[in-house]
Structure 1
Amino acid sequence: MSRRYVNILLIFVLLAVSIWADLTTSGIGKFQPKTVLGLDLRGGLQVILEAKPAAGVTVTRQDLEDAKQILENRANALGVSEVTFQVAGDNSIVGEFPGVTDPKEVIDTISKVALLEFVDFGDVNQSEIMGKTVITDEGGTASTTATPEATASAEATPTAEATQSAEATPTAEPSITEKIWHTVMIGSDLKEVGVQPVQNSAYYEISFTLSDEGTKIFSDFTTNNVGKILGIVLDKKVISAPSINTAITEGQGVITGKFTRDEANNLAVQMRYGSLPVPLEVVQTRLIGPTLGADSLNKSLIAYGIGFVVMMLFMAIYYRVPGLMADLSIMTYAVIAFAIFRSIPVTLTLSGIAGFMLSTGSALDANILSFERMKEELRAGRTVAQAIELGWKRAWPSIRDSNIAALITSAILFWFGSTFGASIVKGFALTLALGVVISVFTALFVTRNFLGAVMSWIKDAEKRPGLFGL
């Protein structure tokens, strides 16, 4: 009896904490429970990105997985919360951004390849190079080498006139956009990137710290090229062209330009999270309004509420006292489950809510199996205490097997959703699995202790079979 009351005390403590997690809007420190609604309930943006590799390049599954991770890092750094990316098929990635109504900034930032280069522009005038698209010797460049056929032809049929002409008219110097410039260092040598305001200005600059290897490269180059132009090039476009005023040996520097705060943040995100392993092109965007989602959510909650009430009435009428204890257990289950969903947090979609509703049936199944076994024990002449103990013990194999099967099914569905980009299936599988685990806990721990305590308070319970619906 003392152990049972300790268990009941623990249940009430857990229930109190769960109610707090369900209702709080502030949390404690880093623990911030929140209700997260998915794209179908909250509205937002859905983007389909398609890999567009260079000719002859094959996109692998790992390339897409790496790109997905970089996209998630970029989107989260932009403050786009609850964003999800899914690899779909052999060359596509689906992104979902709940709550986003202006897609331009998000799409521009996440879809860029973001190859950052520090390029040696020598003595070129800053105004001539700024904003230009240039060719570098890093990451696939245009070639000025003649084709083998053309070379062979030139060697086979030289003429005096051609030779004389070549000597008389020297080759013109290629323009800034035609010349191949040397890349001193790339973005992978960056260690930290931040944004800071420029003093006495409305503009912002990007500060960066280099890795050990990058520090050495930067130090050697700036020491030998004071007065030269070291351009910062993003995806082959010059975004800044500062002059090297002095040797930079500490591995720290800033990228200056007339950047607004948003522009500087977007550039910092692209620098911080590296370049995509494969170019991606936005092939479809779809804005989903929140009206349909709110209507669907309201109807789902009404349907769940009606089903919940009918279920509680059935349990109370058919099983009497055990049924009432099961009702308390089911309410405890709902409170704990919602607290866990808010604490993780789990993104709730319509399919996820369906998984949660289905798991409620699992909680009910466990109680019904136990109560039917208890009735059998009472009919066999057992005492109430014996019937309760034996009922749970003998119902356990059936409860265990059915819920293990449900968890295996959830795992398969979750794997299917992860592999084929079916995020709807993933949400359903996750909430179903969490609900099954919580339902087993409440059926075996909460109902069992509540029923044992209540029946111990009723005198001559063995002589009152109506209490059990017999």
Structure 2
Amino acid sequence: MRRVVLIGLLLVLASCSFSTPLSTQIPAEPTPLPKQLTFILADPTQAIDQTMVDMSCDVFKRRLDRQKHLVFTVNCTPDMIEVGLSANADEQEIASLLTATGSIEFIDPKGEYLEEGTPICTTTYRVLRKTPGFAGESCETIYQTIAKDSQLLRDTVSLTTDQTGRPAVGFVFDGEGARALEVFTAANIGKPMSIVVDQRVLSSPMINGTLPGEGIITFGSSSQAEQEKEAALLLDVLKSGSLPIAWQVQK
């Protein structure tokens, strides 16, 4: 008799457990960050693939991750990158950081002094890529690339100063880049060599001696504060790698 009662009780409990719906908690969607920037292709006609977009996304994340006290999100689609930013973000500075393609070249200016800001084509980039501020066009003169960003040892890129205490970015090239720079500078003492970032001349220093594959990049005659800002931006860009395609902020 006791066994029958127990079995009946178990059946009642079992039926109750199946008939009572379980409560579930639906995770709340994350609160969107207060500032949003949307980046689109600078040249919509450029042929791209998903690998190039994925690489761009990774570079965006690495560059943003280097910004202190910044909370961010990055959402990538085949032709757009959406960036969420915390309230403390300077949107203009972030836009400059993320639209810089990050290409850097040391070039032979053919004995000329190329002024700061001059757009040029090189044996690496024979056409001016369409980027914010550039329409994308061919050049009459193609300058020889001596060494470029892919040959930089990124772990060696660092903030430093020149002999006068001005902000600068130090660098070291790998074996191939170092050798090319050493050979060129040894043969061209007393002549200029131009440093080009994103296809624009950053500076054209005179070669005073053989460079053994390392040196510093300085930032013209702007104010100390502007030089520090430019140095920090270039450091973040070079440390994080160059973008395979150019992006611009959607207006």
Q: TM above 0.5, one fold?
A: yes
TM-superposed deviation, 1:70: 0.5
Residue 267 of structure 1 is matched in structure 2 by: 234
Structure 2, unpaired ranges of 5+: 1-29, 129-138, 221-225
Residue 114 of structure 1 is matched in structure 2 by: 102
For residue 193 of structure 1, the aligned residue among 130, 139, 157 is: 157
Alpha-carbon separation, structure 2, partners of 1:137 and 1:179: 10
| Contact 2:102/2:238, CA 8 A, preserved across alignment | yes
| Contact 2:219/2:231, CA 8 A, preserved across alignment | no
Structure 1, unpaired ranges of 5+: 1-37, 143-176, 285-470
Secondary structure at the counterpart of residue 36 of structure 2: strand
Residue 136 of structure 1 is matched in structure 2 by: 122
Q: Letter of the 1:63 partner, please give it.
A: M
Alpha-carbon separation, structure 1, partners of 2:238 and 2:103: 8
Check 1:282–1:222 CA distance in 2 against 1; reply closer, same or farther (3 A cut).
Answer: same
> TM-score, normalised to structure 1's length?
0.41
For residue 78 of structure 1, the aligned residue among 63, 67, 80 is: 67
| Contact 1:118/1:185, CA 8 A, preserved across alignment | yes
More helix by share: 1
> TM-score, normalised to structure 2's length?
0.74
Residue 180 of structure 1 is matched in structure 2 by: 142
TM-superposed deviation, 1:59: 1.7
Alpha-carbon separation, structure 2, partners of 1:226 and 1:196: 24
Q: Letter of the 2:59 partner, please give it.
A: I
Check 1:54–1:186 CA distance in 2 against 1; reply closer, same or farther (3 A cut).
Answer: farther
Residue 97 of structure 1 is matched in structure 2 by: 85
Does residue 51 (structure 1) correspond to residue 26 (structure 2)? The answer is no
Alpha-carbon separation, structure 2, partners of 1:208 and 1:39: 41
TM-superposed deviation, 1:69: 0.5
* Residues matched between the structures, number: 205
Cα RMSD after superposing both structures = 2.2
Residue 57 of structure 2 is matched in structure 1 by: 68
Identity, in percent, stands at 22
Residue 256 of structure 1 is matched in structure 2 by: 218
Q: Letter of the 1:267 partner, please give it.
A: L
Output one character per residue of 1:203-239: Cα deviation in whole Å (capped at 9) or x when no partner: 3011101112211121122122222211111111111
Check 1:80–1:243 CA distance in 2 against 1; reply closer, same or farther (3 A cut).
Answer: farther
Check 1:54–1:123 CA distance in 2 against 1; reply closer, same or farther (3 A cut).
Answer: farther
TM-superposed deviation, 1:130: 2.2
Alpha-carbon separation, structure 2, partners of 1:62 and 1:262: 31
Q: Letter of the 1:112 partner, please give it.
A: A
For residue 241 of structure 1, the aligned residue among 204, 208, 220 is: 204
| Contact 1:39/1:45, CA 8 A, preserved across alignment | no
| Contact 1:119/1:233, CA 8 A, preserved across alignment | yes
TM-superposed deviation, 1:53: 4.0
Alpha-carbon separation, structure 1, partners of 2:177 and 2:246: 25
Residue 188 of structure 2 is matched in structure 1 by: 225
Check 1:80–1:239 CA distance in 2 against 1; reply closer, same or farther (3 A cut).
Answer: farther
Q: Letter of the 1:182 partner, please give it.
A: Q
Alpha-carbon separation, structure 2, partners of 1:222 and 1:53: 36
Residue 276 of structure 1 is matched in structure 2 by: 243
| Structure with larger Rg | 1
For residue 207 of structure 1, the aligned residue among 162, 170, 187 is: 170
TM-superposed deviation, 1:241: 1.0
TM-superposed deviation, 1:49: 0.9
Alpha-carbon separation, structure 2, partners of 1:60 and 1:100: 34
Q: Letter of the 2:104 partner, please give it.
A: L
Q: Letter of the 1:279 partner, please give it.
A: A
Output one character per residue of 1:321-343: Cα deviation in whole Å (capped at 9) or x when no partner: xxxxxxxxxxxxxxxxxxxxxxx
Check 1:58–1:223 CA distance in 2 against 1; reply closer, same or farther (3 A cut).
Answer: same
TM-superposed deviation, 1:200: 4.3
